[in-house]
Amino acid sequence: MTSKLAVIMAALALSVGFCKAQSESVKTLWCKDNRVPELHAFEVGSRFDYIQYDESPSVPALSWRRKETTVTPYARYGLLENITAYSTIPVGFNRSDKVGDANGLRDITMGIELLAYEFTYKYPWVMPYVEISAPTGDEDKYLGQGNWDGVFGTAVGTTVHDIYHYVLDGRYNVEGKWNDNTNNDGVFTLASAFIWDVGPRFSVFAEGKVTSEDIPAKSGVPLYGNGGMSYKFTDSLVLNWYGGASANTTERGHAGMKVAYSF
């Protein structure tokens, strides 16, 4: 309990402070972006996600489902020039035919993003990043992974004709089983995204990803697709909404939205 409290307090520390600046929120769900807070500025907000899963894919006679709703407050902070620190504190609300209902804290995450190269805001950029997840969620109730997880990734992107943005994001999740003797190869994920700035306030985007996950009772490479829109109400306040589906997975569809405020 003490270690969990320490992680929570460290994450909350990212959401304290005040410094005026203007920045843009990341629009996509699976790809990092070069839209980062200004130096010593904050971005705070929350994501709301809804996902349905098939809990009986290998038993045709059963039709068990799990519905997960997650509310994820987050904070990003311009820690140093070109370095952004961030944290999320997700809370889950699960409705499962298999294990019953469960509500509670999911796994808290903390990470660092380095904008290592950027020719200009509109041209090629490179962003390595590292993220750690603490096992604060209950694994038996599908609220957490049950282990410390680490993610190491790099995103690259560019802009064409000032309004078309392309991103490629590759990452490796070590799945955190560092303290046991299990044979764990981790999970590789490759995601790409296309963003079209239709106007100064409104954008649309599409993205997809493939993973090396080994999903029971499913054959083929897991594929995920997602699309959405973003609207900037003011220079500081942005609303994103999205939805999508997958193939060769137990996911039966997802939808969500994110509100972000920069200051």
Domain CATH for 121: 2.40.160.40
d(CA 207, CA 29): 8
User: Residue 84's domain spans which residues?
Assistant: 2-262
Give the long-range contacts of residues 190-194, CB within 8 A, separation 24 or more. Answer: 191/30, 191/31, 192/31, 192/166, 192/167, 192/168, 193/28, 193/30, 193/31, 193/165, 193/166, 193/167, 193/169, 194/164, 194/165, 194/166, 194/167
Q: Amino acid letter at 250?
A: T
pTM of the entire predicted model: 0.85
- Rounded to 5°, the CA angle 50-257-76 comes to 115
pLDDT number for residue 11: 44
Q: Which of 195, 197, 247 is nearest to 218 (CA)?
A: 247
pLDDT number for residue 220: 86
* Residue 263 token pair: 């200051």
Q: Which of 260, 251, 210, 250 is nearest to 31 (CA)?
A: 210
Residue indicated by tokens 């041209």: 123
Number of domains in the chain: 1
pLDDT number for residue 120: 74
Q: Tens digit of pLDDT per residue, the chain (263 long)?
A: 444 444 444 444 443 333 333 457 899 999 999 999 999 999 999 999 999 998 877 677 778 889 999 999 999 999 999 999 999 999 999 999 888 899 999 999 999 999 999 987 668 999 999 999 999 999 988 899 888 999 999 999 999 999 999 999 999 998 754 444 445 678 999 999 999 999 999 999 999 999 998 887 778 899 999 999 999 999 999 999 999 999 999 899 999 999 999 99
Neighbours of 80 (CB within 10 A): 12
